[in-house]
Structure 1
Amino acid sequence: MGNKISTEDHIFRLKLKTKELEKLSNRSELEEKKLIGDVKKAIQAGKIDIARLYAEKCIRKKNEKINYLNLSNKLDILVSRLEGAYRSASVSFQIFFIKQTRTKMGIEESLKGERTFKDVGVMIPLIQKINAETNAIKIGNDVMKLENIFDEISISSELINDTVQTSSAVIAPTEEVNELISKIADEHAIQLDGQLGPVSSINKHLEEISNMSERIKNLK
């Protein structure tokens, strides 16, 4: 019984998780900046294929940074909501039992508090999973479940899906890679002289596979 974790402790650990996700976002940003430097060096050396590889990694890190930051912000909002709901429920019960009134308002406030306590109870397993999880996709799924409990929060949960799917992509879009390489080259007055040229054979092959998959889906 002494090892039982209180609701307040769960909320505190969720706050720590929010900070952890924020740190992961900052780490991804540092790695993104380093990769930008690697792209620059590869361009200067005339190694465009190597520059592409670094640019793809750089874009993945950028998406990772956004993903972690979005998760951190969402958790921060949910923690505030959870704290408010828990405090509201506690106050509702205290007022109801101290006054010992059976007015319509008193009963409604008590029932509201009871519902909130039940909701908090439902959230605890999700909070425990989030606190123990390190996989961004799984964290995102559990955050969405918490959002469903707090359905008055208007932030669309689709944002998490979009950022998770983007950050977990194997290869960044060719146009985005070329745009990043061109941007870095322009910033450092490096002439590409058409070196970007056509898409590499690997990227072409992957695009063909992707297009074929889409055609198969349309046939179903």
Structure 2
Amino acid sequence: MDENFQNMDENMEKMPKYGSNMDRKLCLFESSSFVYLNFERFLIEMAALDNHLFNLRFAAKELSRNAKKCEKMEKEEKLKLTNALKKGNREVAQVHAENAIRKKNESLNYLRMSARIDAVAARVQTAATQKRVTTSMQGVVKAMESAMKSMNLEKVQNLMDRFEKDFEDLDVQSATMEGSMSATTTLNAPQHEVDSLIQEAADKAGLELGMEMPAAQVEAPGSAKASVADNDELSKRLAALRQN
């Protein structure tokens, strides 16, 4: 306590000349305690913000890992789809095609949610930066008051430059925040996507899906045989006419 009062004696001359020396010492001591409590509260708030920021970024990375897992499972389902087509199992191929599309949609949704959480983390980061900038500005204001009392214009100009730079840094960081992205969830794969994926897998495997061909095209071999028989009959009739 004696050391605190001894250090305060250096600032006694800066205070207005009112009251006794003890009153002024108590005033300085109370002011120092108030500043210390505010600084301690500031540190607690910053620690809480940093903790929230860490949790948000961890969640975003976890969602990104889930997206990669779904992408891997999508590739596995496509491989199973191709194998089912080679074996001629149309129903099994349908199931694997639906699974592949569902995993693709899940991967996209995980990525969208990860980006959304990244946007929230950016807002938390900006809030933490604003806290730091606010504290910095408070120090600049106090230093500026001291410079104004001494009428040191060069010092005031330097402090104003610092003050404006704090605002510019905050504006740059705020401008980099991205808007929230809406996440959509699809449970059932559209049939046209399933058919398109099946056809794509069949093309890569060099297979022909005869079950999708129209009935007229399927019966084409029989029609060709009938056409050959008709030609043979015409040839016989022409040969008989020549003999006559």
| Corresponding residue of 2:189 | 172
1:87-116 residue CA offsets vs partner (Å, 9 max, x unmatched): 1232113312552379xxx9xx9xxx9xxx
Amino acid at match of 1:177: V
The structure that is helix-richer by fraction is: 2
The aligned length equals 144
How far apart are the structure 2 equivalents of 1:177 and 1:59? 7
| Corresponding residue of 1:186 | 203
| Corresponding residue of 1:27 | 69
Greater alpha carbon shift after TM alignment, 176-185 vs 75-84: 75-84
How far apart are the structure 2 equivalents of 1:61 and 1:67? 10
Structure 1 position 12, deviation (Å): 0.8
- Tell me the C-alpha RMSD between the 2 structures: 3.1
| Corresponding residue of 2:133 | 91
Contact 2:122 2:177 in 1 (8 A): no
How far apart are the structure 2 equivalents of 1:81 and 1:97? 24
Greater alpha carbon shift after TM alignment, 45-54 vs 5-14: 5-14
Contact 1:28 1:64 in 2 (8 A): yes
| Corresponding residue of 2:54 | 12
Change (3 A) 1:196 1:78: farther
| Unpaired segments ≥5 residues, structure 1 | 114-149, 198-220
Contact 1:29 1:62 in 2 (8 A): yes
The list of structure 1 runs, each at least 4 consecutive aligned residues, that deviate by more than 2 angstroms after superposition, is 152-158, 194-197
1:1-27 residue CA offsets vs partner (Å, 9 max, x unmatched): xxx972201111111111100100000
Matched, 1:49 2:66: no
Structure 1 position 84, deviation (Å): 2.3
Amino acid at match of 2:121: V
How far apart are the structure 2 equivalents of 1:6 and 1:71? 23
Identity of aligned residues (%): 27
Contact 2:119 2:178 in 1 (8 A): no
How far apart are the structure 2 equivalents of 1:187 and 1:36? 11
How far apart are the structure 2 equivalents of 1:47 and 1:196? 17
| TM-score, structure 1 as length reference | 0.57
Amino acid at match of 2:193: E
How far apart are the structure 2 equivalents of 1:91 and 1:185? 61
| Corresponding residue of 2:27 | none
How far apart are the structure 1 equivalents of 2:134 and 2:180? 30
Superposition pairs of residues 33-112 of structure 1, within 5 angstroms: 33-100=75-142
| Corresponding residue of 1:205 | none
Change (3 A) 1:51 1:96: same
| Corresponding residue of 2:152 | none
Contact 2:67 2:107 in 1 (8 A): yes
How far apart are the structure 1 equivalents of 2:66 and 2:213? 32
SS in 2 for 1:93: helix
Structure 1 position 44, deviation (Å): 0.8
Which of 1 and 2 has greater Rg? 2
How far apart are the structure 1 equivalents of 2:208 and 2:179? 44
How far apart are the structure 1 equivalents of 2:138 and 2:213? 72
How far apart are the structure 1 equivalents of 2:74 and 2:193? 15
Contact 1:178 1:196 in 2 (8 A): no
- Ranked by relative contact order (alpha carbons within 8 Å, sequence separation 6 or more), the top structure is 1
